[in-house]
């Protein structure tokens, strides 16, 4: 019979650590605890597994969808359509500003803007012409553009009607077209008006107050001199005017649902006026850091600028930014975007400190065309010198008559208002000549730097 252990030995035996558990067993226990271990056949699934796996799957799908909605262009477009159920899709362009008394059913001739919109839509449908940086200087002939099957006049207009039967390319990017213009008529303009915003309303929609050619609504700037005014097109006479307080520097102007919306410089607050009486109707807060240009893209979306290279899509009720698009030409940002006008679904923008207008695709931000108006600046300057008008300044102010396809342009302190007919410039004989011409236009039109931040 073996000897019995003493009490001391018995206590030591009871307090001794149990034998170590092998690491493989520990790992199996951890996996089983969280529900990720291999289940034995016929064993019930862990409650953690039943709850955690669907939760993680839902979280992954939700985060992926959110990232796509806010970063991918298609997702941003879908998000805008959900936020604005009554909005016209920006891919199917309407032929002008909505809400200014213009009828989409009015018969009209195709415009240069229509052709540019048609080109862009056709290229997108065929998957060509991705935007890129400056190419290697090689240029080639692109494919012919047909009329397409768009849901609007702009998209359905044959681009070939403007001689745009070939493309010029830099690398893999289609370069902007160069526009020229015909001067149709010259009108008088108040040389004391520091023009910041301009839009057109026809004679009938204005209540018959004009002398027959319609009226302009104009926003003028400078501290202590800012106004919103109604101006007779034919005579240049100011029919009605309301002045802002001395601390307001008036900026861009848009008309939506019979109300005028005026931006102000270096503030996020804009002012609202009744269109017929110009009586104040309150104010609004917008989603831009500064107020420069403003126009109506469709029933639910306005476009605005803050002096940078960003084109803001603003909800027309809340004025919150629902999208931000960077405007580029040849891979280069185009800052100093100023007064805006939507023409044929494209955004036409004055570029501050230049004599140029950029025709911009509202969704991609790509400059589709440049229009150099240096000749009009020269004529206005000569007239200003003849009149002895002080303070002659830069080109600024675009107004579009969508019923009669009339484009009006003027400038700050300009004594003249011009009715012009933009058209495609004749193509140069060789690709090298076309690239040289484009280089000169870009030197005149692309800003060297952004002046305000």
pLDDT at position 279 is 95
Tally the C-alpha atoms within 13 A of residue 413's C-alpha that lie toward its C-beta: 14
Task: Output the CA torsion sign for 435, 118, 338, 408.
Answer: positive
- pLDDT at position 383 over 60: yes
pLDDT at position 107 is 35
- Beta carbons of 294 and 97 less than 8 angstroms apart: no
Lowest average pLDDT, out of 54-63, 161-170, 176-185, 278-287, goes to 161-170
- Fill in the DSSP letter of residue 411: E
- The sheet with strand 195-201 has its strands ordered as 195-201, 215-220, 227-232, 238-243
- Beta carbons of 304 and 288 less than 8 angstroms apart: yes
Per-chain mean pLDDT for the chain: 76
pLDDT at position 329 is 94
Work out the pLDDT band at 17, boundaries 50, 70, 90: low
Query: Residue 305's closest CA among 260, 360, 343, 355?
Result: 360
Which CA distances in Å does 422 have to 139, 179, 290, 449?
A: 25, 6, 30, 27
- Rounded distance between C-alpha atoms, residue 159 and residue 119, angstroms: 6
- Rounded distance between C-alpha atoms, residue 286 and residue 293, angstroms: 12
Dig out the tokens for 385 from the structure: 């010198």
- Beta carbons of 89 and 299 less than 8 angstroms apart: no
- Beta carbons of 425 and 180 less than 8 angstroms apart: yes
Task: Output the CA torsion sign for 199, 202, 205, 208.
Answer: positive
Task: Output the CA torsion sign for 430, 434, 439, 444.
Answer: positive
- pLDDT at position 298 over 50: yes
* Stretch 74-82: mean pLDDT: 60
- pLDDT at position 67 over 80: no
Work out the pLDDT band at 393, boundaries 50, 70, 90: confident
- Beta carbons of 196 and 252 less than 8 angstroms apart: yes
Which CA distances in Å does 285 have to 5, 21, 221, 307, 324?
A: 90, 67, 19, 17, 17
pLDDT at position 348 is 97
Query: Residue 226's closest CA among 254, 259, 200, 252?
Result: 252
Between helix 47-71 and helix 23-34 the angle, nearest 10°, is: 70
Helix (H/G/I), strand (E/B), else coil: 88: coil
Backbone angles phi, psi at 422, to 5 degrees: -65, 145
* Stretch 280-289: mean pLDDT: 93
Work out the pLDDT band at 116, boundaries 50, 70, 90: low
* Stretch 293-302: mean pLDDT: 95
- pLDDT at position 12 over 50: no
Helix (H/G/I), strand (E/B), else coil: 302: strand
Condensed to tens digits (0 to 9), the pLDDT of residues 344-371 reads 899 999 999 899 999 999 999 999 999 9
Report field, pTM of the whole predicted structure over 0.85? no
Work out the pLDDT band at 24, boundaries 50, 70, 90: low
Helix (H/G/I), strand (E/B), else coil: 359: strand
Work out the pLDDT band at 204, boundaries 50, 70, 90: confident
* Stretch 111-117: mean pLDDT: 57
* Stretch 53-67: mean pLDDT: 82
């Amino acid at each position: 019979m073996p000897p019995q252990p003493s009490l001391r030995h018995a206590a030591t035996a009871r307090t001794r650590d149990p034998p170590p558990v092998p690491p493989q067993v520990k790992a199996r226990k951890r996996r089983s605890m969280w529900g990720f271990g291999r289940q034995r056949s016929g064993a019930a699934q862990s409650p953690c597994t039943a709850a955690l796996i669907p939760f993680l799957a839902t979280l992954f799908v939700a985060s992926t969808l959110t990232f796509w909605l806010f970063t991918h262009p298609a997702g941003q477009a879908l998000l805008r359509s959900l936020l604005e159920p009554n909005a016209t899709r920006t891919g199917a362009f309407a032929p002008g500003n909505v809400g200014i008394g213009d009828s989409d059913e009015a018969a009209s001739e195709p415009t240069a803007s229509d052709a540019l919109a048609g080109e862009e839509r056709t290229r997108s449908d065929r998957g060509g012409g991705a935007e890129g940086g400056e190419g290697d200087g090689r240029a080639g002939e692109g494919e012919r553009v047909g009329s397409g099957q768009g849901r609007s006049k702009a998209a359905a207009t044959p681009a070939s009607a403007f001689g745009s039967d070939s493309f010029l390319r830099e690398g893999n990017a289609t370069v902007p077209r160069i526009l020229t213009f015909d001067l149709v008529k010259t009108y008088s303009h108040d040389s004391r008006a520091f023009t910041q915003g301009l839009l057109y309303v026809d004679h009938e929609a204005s209540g018959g107050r004009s002398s027959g050619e319609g009226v302009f609504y104009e926003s003028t700037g400078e501290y202590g001199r800012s106004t919103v005014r109604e101006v007779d097109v034919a005579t240049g006479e100011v029919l009605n005017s309301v002045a802002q307080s001395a601390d307001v520097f008036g900026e861009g102007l848009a008309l939506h649902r019979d109300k005028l919306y005026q931006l102000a410089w270096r503030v996020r607050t804009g002012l609202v006026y009744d269109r017929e009486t110009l009586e104040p109707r309150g104010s609004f807060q917008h989603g831009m850091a500064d107020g420069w240009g403003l126009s109506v893209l469709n029933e639910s979306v306005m476009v605005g600028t803050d002096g940078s290279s960003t084109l803001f899509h603003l909800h027309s009720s809340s004025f919150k930014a629902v999208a931000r698009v960077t405007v580029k030409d040849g891979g280069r940002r185009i800052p100093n975007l100023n007064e805006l006008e939507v023409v044929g679904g494209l955004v036409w923008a004055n570029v501050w400190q230049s004599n140029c207008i950029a025709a911009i695709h509202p969704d991609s931000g790509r400059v589709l065309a440049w229009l150099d108006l240096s000749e009009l600046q020269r004529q206005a300057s000569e007239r200003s010198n003849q009149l002895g008008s002080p303070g002659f300044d830069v080109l600024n102010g675009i107004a579009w008559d969508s019923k009669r396809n009339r484009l009006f342009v003027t400038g700050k302190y300009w004594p003249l208002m011009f009715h012009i007919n933009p058209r495609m410039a004749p193509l140069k004989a060789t690709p090298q000549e076309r690239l040289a011409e484009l280089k000169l236009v870009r030197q005149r039109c692309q800003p060297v730097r952004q002046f305000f931040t």
